[in-house]
A and B are shown apart, each in its own frame.
Chain A
Amino acid sequence: MQYPDQLRYSQSHEWVSADGKTAKIGISDFAQHSLGDIVFIQLPEIGASVKAGDSVCEIESVKAASSIYTPVSGKITAVNEALNDTPELVNQKPYDAYIFLVEMSDPSEMNALLDSKKYAELCEKESGAH
């Protein structure tokens, strides 16, 4: 399982990469592995205002449907259209296949997210609980 050091992670298994006020968001290797074969992603609406912790879109695997939450507040400025036709990119390269971008209204929210070490511990704990 990979947890790149340069990223931050939410408790609900999204990863965030911040560049200035823009946050790029996807789901972690642990999340894609737990979901299994991903077959559909309903991308969020561009322009929507979101608050950290909001459910912003749906992801479906062969096994189940789940929500994706935004780890930061702001406005959704872009979505990864490639996932409409090839949602399996999230299985193949979870850290390249971002799902949406947020123009952050409060970049300090990044500080509340987990670093890779703490996130790896969380995943280990959740794996053990399964």
Chain B
Amino acid sequence: MNIKNTPIYESHLRANARMTDFAGWNLPIQYTGIIDEALHCRKSVSLFDTCHMGQFSFKGDIRKSGIENAFCFPISDIKIGRCRYGFILNGIGGIIDDLIVYRIAVDELMIVVNAATTENDFKTIGQDIAGGCEYKNISDITAKIDVQGPLSRDLMAERFGEQIRSIPYFGFMKMNIMGRDAIISRTGYTGELGYEIYIDASAAAKLWDSLLEDERVKPAGLGARDILRLEMGYCLYGSDIDDMTSPIEADLGVFVVTDKEYRGIRGILQQKEQGVPRIRAGFITHSRRSPRHGYRIFHDDAMSGEITSGTFSPTLNSGIGMGYIDTALAKPGTKVVLSDGRVSIDAEIAEFPLYKKGTARNK
């Protein structure tokens, strides 16, 4: 498979980024250093190239089109100018993808999905849509730049207008940026106050470079992004959740409703009623040692689960991770040992978010 470049690729090379293949895309893993970049985002403003993510546009009658059936959360009651996070599921309630739906107008949506799952998501959602609607994959023509950090609101308002300050958490605004139609939203995946700019792919590199001219702003790569999302307890699709994991097991049941029809609802109802044998939990180690994907979780010498993601947290100065553990053990404070057979790390279960000072929801 050919690795794709984002429209910002040349800028990354100029900044001496170390590049890596992520979901079939050439993306920066780091520029100056992963820890520096993660800490910068927690105190100032970081730019993330998320052009690899997929976007679909839908126009049509939401209630009559059948598109509501594709999602395990209600979309017809999303207010115009607001976004909602949730999942599309398979027949057994496994997660095909996690995504965000934007209500652009009464009869118009934008759906933002993960890069590796874009094609399959487009097909799966399309199966629920009746004829007569306009449903398009706009991923190739849409660029996405994430501007994240506690100073991002000031920066964005100075740059694009004071009205930016009125965008609520999980809200968005249509704007004209550099002569192009753009959407600025406030969702983010770092736990900090932050914005996403969706703009025509041909304008992305120029926008990226101009945002970097501000001294508060630094670029951040996938390494920092992984630390930031793990500190918040956010899942990475393909590592922490997948088509064999349900939202209930992932402890994300709050994003799933039971009062409408959708693919996988029977599995969800059954799990809500009977409970699940394993559930996702967060871990903090008692040292700077970090668990990694695949480490086993032991409690009283018995194998009780598996780690799905782990790293070093520079803000907590310790190893952190998340994984699936026997439901009966999933209580904050439970002592565990995380091991790959060679290395054993003492840890305990901790409540999400592991980092509690994020500014994302600031008014």
Which size class do B's interface residues fall under?
10 to 19
* B34 engages A63 (CB within 8 Å): yes
Is residue A1 contacting chain B, with contact meaning CB distance below 8 A?
A: no
Instruction: Decide: A62 and B312 in contact? CB cutoff 8 A.
Output: yes
A115 adjacent to chain B (CB < 8 Å): no
Of the candidates A37, A40, A58, A87, the one whose C-beta lies within 8 Å of that of B34 is A37
Which of B33, B289, B292, B343 meets A36, CB within 8 Å? B33
Q: Is B46 an interface residue (CB 8 A)?
A: no
Q: Report the bound CA distance from A26 to B30 in whole Å.
A: 24
Of B223, B289, B343, the contact of A62 (CB 8 Å cutoff): B223
In the complex, A42 Cα to B289 Cα: how many Å?
9
Interface centre among B29, B290, B343 (most CB of A within 10 A): B290
Residues in chain A near residue B176, CB distance under 8 A: none
Determine if A39 and B290 form an interchain contact, defined as CB atoms under 8 angstroms apart. Answer: yes
A128 to chain B, nearest CB (A): 15
Partner of B35, one of A40, A42, A60, A62: A62
State the Cβ distance, B37 to closest chain A Cβ, in Å: 10
Q: A64: CB under 8 A from chain B?
A: yes
Asked whether A46 is an interface residue with its Cβ less than 8 Å from the other chain, the reply is no
Contact between chains at A63 and B288 (CB < 8 Å): no
CB-based contact A36/B288 at 8 Å:
no
In the bound assembly, the distance between CA atoms of A65 and B34 in angstroms comes to 15
Contact B311 A62 (CB under 8 A): yes
B231–chain A nearest beta-carbon distance, Å = 12
A36-B223, A39-B290, A65-B292 given as contacts; is B312 within 8 A of A60 (CB)? yes
B343 engages A63 (CB within 8 Å): no
Report B301-312 CB contacts with A as 1/0, cut-off 8 Å.
Answer: 000000000011
Q: Is B297 an interface residue (CB 8 A)?
A: no
B287 contacts the other chain (Cβ, under 8 Å)?
yes
Interface residues of B in 307-321 (CB under 8 A from A): 311-312
Query: B312's contact among A40, A42, A58, A91, by CB below 8 Å, is which?
Result: A40
Mask for B278-295, Cβ within 8 A of A = 1, else 0? 000000000111101000
Chain B residues in 8 Å Cβ range of A58: 343
In the complex, the answer to whether A63 meets B287 with C-beta atoms within 8 Å is: no
Are A62 and B288 within 8 A (Cβ)? no
Q: Contact between B33 and A60 (Cβ–Cβ < 8 Å)?
A: no
Smallest beta-carbon distance A24→chain B, Å: 24
Q: Is the CB of B227 within 8 A of A62?
A: yes
The interface residues of chain A lying within 8 Å CB-to-CB of B227 are: 62
Do A39 and B343 touch across chains, with their CB atoms under 8 A apart?
no
With A60-B312, A63-B34 as given contacts, are A39 and B292 in contact (CB-CB < 8 Å)? no
Q: Which residue of B lies closest to A58 (CB)?
A: B343
Closest partner residue, chain A, to B36 (CB atom): A37
Q: Is the CB of A65 within 8 A of B343?
A: yes
Q: Is the CB of B223 within 8 A of A63?
A: yes
Residues of A within 8 A of B311 (CB): 62
How far does the alpha carbon of A71 sit from the alpha carbon of B33 in the complex, in Å? 29
Which residues of A sit under 8 angstroms from B33, Cβ to Cβ?
36-37, 91
- In the complex, which residues of chain B have a beta carbon less than 8 angstroms from the beta carbon of A37? 33-36, 312
Which positions 36-60 of chain A face chain B at CB distance < 8 Å? 36-37, 39-40, 42, 58, 60
In angstroms, Cα B287 to Cα A42, docked, is: 11
Known contacts A62-B34, A63-B34, A63-B223; decide if A40 and B288 are in contact (CB<8 Å): yes
Please indicate the chain B residues that have their CB under 8 angstroms from the CB of A60 in the complex.
288-290, 312
Of chain A, the residue at the smallest CB distance from B18 is: A36
| Cβ contacts under 8 Å, B35 to chain A | 37, 39, 62
Residue of A with least CB distance to B227: A62
The contact sample of 26 A-B pairs, CB cut-off 8 A, is A36-B30, A36-B33, A36-B34, A36-B223, A37-B33, A37-B34, A37-B35, A37-B36, A37-B312, A39-B35, A39-B290, A39-B312, A40-B288, A40-B289, A40-B312, A58-B343, A60-B289, A62-B223, A62-B290, A62-B312, A63-B29, A63-B223, A65-B290, A65-B343, A87-B288, A91-B33
Binding site for B on A (CB under 8 A): 36-37, 39-40, 42, 58, 60, 62-65, 87, 91
B residues near A (Cβ < 8 Å) are: 29-30, 33-36, 223, 227, 287-290, 292, 311-312, 343
Closest 9 CB pairs of A and B: A40-B288, A39-B312, A37-B35, A62-B34, A39-B288, A62-B312, A37-B34, A40-B289, A37-B33
